[in-house]
Amino acid sequence: MAKGFSGMPGGMNLNSLMKQAQKMQKQMAEMQDELAGKTLETSSGGGAVKVTISGDKQIKELTISPDVVDPDDVEMLQDLVLTAVNEAIRQMNELYEKQMSGLTGGMGGMGMF
């Protein structure tokens, strides 16, 4: 087994590096589980359309105020729904990145998301 790995700071050995990688992988899995249990609610149109998204990025609830249902202006309602859904996804992605960057030291999700 290699005692040292040239080019590694402080003479870190391969076993130590592997243990650190396994520890980080376990922490990331735990964080993913924790995030999967969270939900976020966003809205558009001053609350006319509300979206609840889960941590696993599934839309769990969509609420539309009857005040914005106008058969003559379906496009406006479509825009409000798209805006609310996209904002929910953006905020959940932001939460994931914030949580993961703390774990990975700013390296992001390391391509896992």
pLDDT digits (tens, 9 = 90+) for 39-76: 999 999 999 999 999 988 899 999 999 999 999 999 99
Highest mean pLDDT among 16-20, 21-25, 80-84 belongs to: 80-84
- Quick one: pLDDT at residue 33? 83
Instruction: Judge whether 18 lies within some domain.
Output: no
Count structural domains, the chain. Answer: 1
- Please report which confidence band the pLDDT of residue 15 belongs to, taking 50, 70 and 90 as the band edges: confident
CATH number at residue 43: 3.30.1310.10
Instruction: Judge whether 43 lies within some domain.
Output: yes
* CA end-to-end distance (rounded Å), the chain: 34
CA geometry: angle 44, 46, 51, nearest 5 deg: 35
